[in-house]
Structure 1
Amino acid sequence: MAVRGRVLIPCAGILLASAVVAGCSVAEGSSPPPTVQPTPSIVVPRSTTALKPATDCTGSTQQLPTESETGGVQLTLSTDPSRTSLLLKNTGSLSVVVIPDASFTSRLVAAPYANPQDQASRAALIAVNNSGAKMSDIPRYVPLTQVITIPPQWAVCALTDSAEETASVRYLQDRQSSAEYFVTKALADQLTVRTSLDRVRPALVRCAKSTLIVLASHPEMSDIELYVEILSPRSLCQAGYKALLGGDTGATAQLEAAVIQRLGGAPRLLANSRLFSITAQS
């Protein structure tokens, strides 16, 4: 029994040592467990450029719903990403008068890049703007420089001075300026091909003023009767364009016939509408 005990003890020691060695060999010979690298998240950098208020309407290319709250009116609208500009183009049949919004967060500026470029159209609008028309439907506190008439195919730009404000305006359909523009544009188309624009302008202003007088004096007349009266010898208008034609009776009659024919096909004049509001929102 003693012999067996002496034999067993070294065996146990050998086994224990072997186990330790084996364990050490495994630890020393194996590669350390791989380090798990975190998957980088994809971060979209924020824009460091804040939206700034527009300085004109050249960037107003985002189309908005067309505005047509009243008869004869159709305004094609567009804005920019900041919504601080609003380009209004009159694609309807009657003239529209535009003013700033009630709180005056927006101001109106010209938009020559969106307007007709022909001399007749420009001369006609200049005459309307210089006729001295009094617009009773426009609040008196609105500065005259911010009361803008836009006949068919003309445009105006509204701007805010803060990126926090959305561009907005008010407008109405205006009978006086519609009639003035129809008369002066029909005359300008005839006169600008016969004489210089500088000579034509005073005559057109005279005819715009005559249009206002006839409208006020004969509110019951039909449109064509009004136009005939405006071009009659009783009106201040005829003397102006007749002088440009050198007093030639035949040339005067020919011009009047062409103008009356043109005006006979003009859109029907309507009573003034109430004020409507528009903002640069989709």
Structure 2
Amino acid sequence: MGKLDGKVAFITGAARGQGRSHAIRLAQEGADIIAVDSLTDIDTVDYPMSTQSEMDETVNQVKALNRRIHTTKADVRDFAAMKSAYQNGVAAIGPVDIVLGNAGICQLGSKETDPVQSFGDVIGVNLIGVWNTVFVAAQDMVDRGAGGSIVLTSSTQGLSGRGADGSGGVQGYAAAKHGVVGLMRSFANWLSPHGIRVNTVHPTGVATPMVENNVVGKYLQENPQATQMAANLMPVGLMDPADVSNAILYLVSDDGRYVTGVTLPVDAGFNAK
């Protein structure tokens, strides 16, 4: 018996990184998965976005756990595409109990030729995309009357501006991750009376392709002060994605059945500094 037997989870950014980890962890506990990812590069982001082969690997790992998975290529910034991805997923897998607004980008170290575009792209993916993700599912969850859980991925930068510089992309990241907290609190006030809990998680640096790439690596090598400012209190560099997935499992399972409206740091003490 798993903690999520019979549940269906709608997860964005599921092709790799934290999104894949969340899909696998929830599948291990019995959930079926509706997985969404853009699988398309963004001009203002210097590292490559996820690929179809990476999404295929997510599918393989979920199916190896004897769970069902339905995938869609969709940009979280496109509301119509997200609505279609959600509806097609529900038709294929079943009604959604869990929503994870996980998709995100980071432009740390990118060559910023247009800070306005950089700022707009980050806000689009990391904030508007989160609203789109929740909004396409929320009313259905209310109408169904079965409760549920929504977790939005913020960041240590959603609780602190520490380590920011003057680039539009980096400032957009902090603004979006703070904005996600506002969305969470707004959704929690609307949805919690319907038995739908809404929370945010705030990871420190996580070992995913968004962080472990040549662009970010070069930036940190050339700007050691940034590494020091982003250091955790605990002797931890980058966390494993599974550490965030385990926190999310707590929030979406009955273990966290009375937890809503919470900003949960998974940050090795980053925000205590």
TM-score range (shorter-chain normalised) is under 0.3
Question: Normalization by structure 2: what TM-score?
Answer: 0.24
Question: Normalization by structure 1: what TM-score?
Answer: 0.24
Larger Rg: 1
